[in-house]
Chains A and B, each alone.
Chain A
C-alpha cells in the first residue's frame, strides 16, 4: 500500500470530509451566531427553564414507560421463534418510517373528543390533549421502536447456553434473568434508553399535534423563531444543543460493553 495512492481511497476520504463538514459546520455556526448575554438571560428566564425541565421530565417518563414494555417483549422475541415473528417486529418499527406530523394526526384520531376513545376519556373526566400526558404519548409513539430495537440487540448476543448453564446449576428462570441476562444486557439497555431519551426530547412534529401547550423546548424554539426571529430562537437552541451533546458524550462513555468480547 505504502508509496502508492489509490484513487478510490482518495474519493472515499473526500466524501468523509464532506459528511463531517455537513454535520459540524451548522453546530459550530450555531455557537458562533449566539449572543451569549441572551443565553445567560434565557437561563434565568423562568418560562424557558420551566419548558426545558418539562422537556426533560416528559422525555424521562417516556423512556421509563417504553423500557417497561419494550424490554420484556424484546427478551421474549429474541428467545423465541414464533409464527409471524418478523411481521410483529415490523409492526413495532412502523412509527420509525412515519412522518412525525402523520404520527401526530394518527394519535389525534384516537384521542380527539370526536373519536370513540376520546369521548370515553372526556366522559370519565380524563384530560389528555394539551397536557403532559399527550406529550408523553406522542414522544413514546415515535421513540418506542428505538427502545425495542436496542433491547433486542442487547439480548441477542447473549448465548442462551449461559442461561441454560445457570438453570442447570439450580437458578430459576427469574434468578437467571437477574443474575446473568440483565447484568450482561445492562450496558446496551442503558445506551438504548439514552437514545430513546434523546429521540423523545427532540420530538416536535407529533407533539404539537397533541399539545402545543404546555410547551416543550422544540415548540418554544419554533414559536420564538416565528414570532421574534433568529436572535431570540438561538439562545434556547444553544441550551438544548449543549444538553444533547452532553447526552451524546455520556452515551459514548457507557456504550462499550466489554463482556461481548468474553463470550
Chain B
C-alpha cells in the first residue's frame, strides 16, 4: 500500500499543495489532469527524484520520504521510454537484475507476455515507438517493483498502437497485480485501466474516487469539464431540496440537435464545428450560453450543419447532472 500525506513542494513558479491519497495493494491508481497540473511532480516525488518540502510518503508501511530512489522499491516508465541507447533490448530489460533478481524463469515469461522475443538483440534506435514502450515496461517489471509508476506511457503513440498497448498494460496488471500509479490526461485511458484515481489541477487534488464516481459525479465545474461534461451552467435554485447545487451539467452526447424547430426546443446559432474522427462536436450560441452538442457522422451528413446555421436543441430532464463545488 502507498500512503501520500500532505505532500507539498515548491519548484520555481509551480507548487504542489497538500496532496494526499492512498493506493491499496495491487490497485491501479490514476492521476489525471490537464498538462501542467502537477501530475509528473507527484510522480517524481514518489520516485524520489524530488524531495518534498512537507509531507510523507509511505510505501508498504515503510516511510520513504527522504530515501534515495534506488532504496524505494519502485520502477518508472516514461512517455519518451528513456531506454538506454548503448544497450541492446535484452541488456536494457536485464539492467536491474544486478540489484534485484526475479529468478531465471521470469525473463522468458515477461518477454513472451509482451511479445518482444524477436527484438532482444536490437538497439533502441532500431525500434518503433510501440516496441520501445514494451521494452520500457519489461525493463521496469523485471525488478518486480513494489510500486509501478507509469508517466503517460501511451501519450506519444499512434491511436491503434495505443489501444493495443492499453490492453497489454491491463493484461500485465491482471497477471502480476503490481500496485500501479499511472499519469494520464486521457479520460479514456483512465476509465479503461484505473480502479480509482485523483484529478489534479494547479497543484491540488480536485477529486478522488473510483473512475465511475469521478465520471458520473464530478464535484466541481473543473472536473465536470475535464471528464467531458462540457455544458456546465450556474444553477438558479427554485426547489429547496437541491439548494446545495450551484451548477448543473449536460453531456454533449445528451443534447439532441435539429435544423427544424421541435416542441420545447431551444434555438441557437452554430459557431464552431470540430471533426473529432468518428463524431462531430458542434458549438451553439444560445440564450442560456455556449452549448456543445455531439453528433455522429451519420447525423452530421444527414442534417449537414454549417457555421452560422440556425439550429434547435433539446435534452431530457433526467440527463441533467447536479454539480456541487467542493474545489476550494
Tell me the A165-189 residues at the B interface (CB within 8 Å).
165-173, 179-180, 183-184
Q: 15 new A-B pairs (CB below 8 Å) besides A164-B49, A169-B95?
A: A161-B82, A165-B78, A165-B139, A167-B48, A167-B68, A167-B70, A168-B145, A169-B100, A169-B140, A170-B96, A170-B99, A170-B100, A172-B68, A172-B70, A262-B85
Residue of A nearest to B151 (CB): A161
A162 and B124 alpha carbons, distance in the complex (Å) = 13
Contact between A259 and B76 (Cβ–Cβ < 8 Å)? no
Closest chain A residue to B127, Cβ basis:
A262
Chain A residues with CB under 8 Å of B125's CB are 258, 261-262
At the interface, yes or no: B160 with Cβ under 8 Å from chain A?
Answer: no
Per-residue interface assignment for chain B, residues 185 to 221, with 1 indicating a CB less than 8 Å from any chain A CB and 0 otherwise? 0000000000000000000000000000000000000
Chain B residues with CB under 8 Å of A164's CB are: 44, 47, 49, 69, 76, 82
| The 10 residue pairs across chains A and B that have the minimum distance between CB atoms | A170-B99, A262-B85, A169-B96, A262-B125, A167-B69, A259-B85, A161-B82, A168-B76, A165-B82, A167-B70
Task: Tell me the number of A-to-B contacts counted with CB atoms below 8 Å.
Answer: 76
Q: What is the minimal beta-carbon distance from B142 to any residue of chain A, in angstroms?
A: 8
Give A89 to B52 CA distance when docked, in angstroms: 29
Residues of chain B lying within 8 A (CB to CB) of residue A172: 68, 70
Q: Quote the shortest CB–CB distance from A106 to chain B (angstroms).
A: 39
| A72 contacts chain B at the CB level, 8 A cutoff | no
SS class of chain A's interface: helix, strand, loop or mixed? helix
Taking CB atoms, residues of chain A closer than 8 Å to B165 are: none
* A136-180 CB contacts (< 8 Å) to partner B: 159, 161-162, 164-173, 179-180
CA distance A164 to B68 in the complex (A): 11
Q: For A183, what are the chain B residues with a Cβ–Cβ distance below 8 Å?
A: 86
Please tell me if the beta carbons of A168 and B86 are within 8 angstroms of each other in the complex. Answer: no
User: How far is it, in angstroms, between the C-alpha of A139 and the C-alpha of B48 when the chains are bound?
Assistant: 43
CB-contacts of B52-109 with A (<8 A): 68-70, 72, 74-76, 78, 80, 82-86, 95-96, 98-100
Q: Quick check: is B143 within 8 A (CB to CB) of the other chain?
A: yes
Instruction: Contact check, A170 vs B70: say whether CB atoms are below 8 A apart.
Output: yes
CB-defined contacts of B123 to chain A, threshold 8 Å: 262
Chain A minimum-CB-distance residue to B136: A165
Question: Which residues of chain B come closer than 8 Å to A184, judged between CB atoms?
Answer: 85-86
A263 at the interface (CB under 8 A from B): yes
- CB <8 Å contact, B85 and A263: yes
Residues of the B chain whose Cβ atoms lie less than 8 Å from the Cβ of A161: 78, 80, 82
18 A/B residue pairs, CB under 8 Å, sorted by A: A159-B80, A161-B82, A164-B76, A164-B82, A165-B76, A167-B48, A167-B70, A168-B48, A168-B76, A171-B98, A172-B68, A184-B85, A258-B125, A259-B86, A261-B125, A262-B83, A262-B86, A263-B85
Q: Give B contacts to A, CB under 8 Å.
A: 44, 47-49, 68-70, 72, 74-76, 78, 80, 82-86, 95-96, 98-100, 123-125, 139-140, 143, 145, 149
Q: 1/0 contact trace for A18-62 toward B, CB 8 Å? A: 000000000000000000000000000000000000000000000
Determine if B85 and A168 form an interchain contact, defined as CB atoms under 8 angstroms apart.
no
**Quick check: B95 and A166 within 8 Å, CB to CB?**
yes
Check A168 against B69 for contact (C-beta < 8 Å). Answer: yes
Q: A183-B86, A184-B85, A259-B85 are in contact. Are A169 and B139 (CB under 8 A)?
A: yes
A169 B80 Cβ-Cβ under 8 A: no
Cα A258 to Cα B124 in complex, Å, equals 12
- Find the B residue at minimum CB distance from A183: B86
Residues of B with C-beta under 8 A to A261:
85, 125
- Cβ distance B116 to chain A, nearest Cβ, rounded Å: 17
Docked CA distance A183–B91 (Å): 14
Name the distance in Å between A168's Cβ and chain B's nearest Cβ.
Answer: 5
Residues of chain B within 8 A of A162, CB atoms compared: 82, 84
Asked whether A171 lies within 8 Å of B70 as measured between CB atoms, the reply is yes
Q: Measured between alpha carbons, how far is A161 from B43 in the docked complex, in Å?
A: 13
B112 CB to nearest A CB, Å: 21
> A159's contact among B49, B72, B82, B140, by CB below 8 Å, is which?
B82
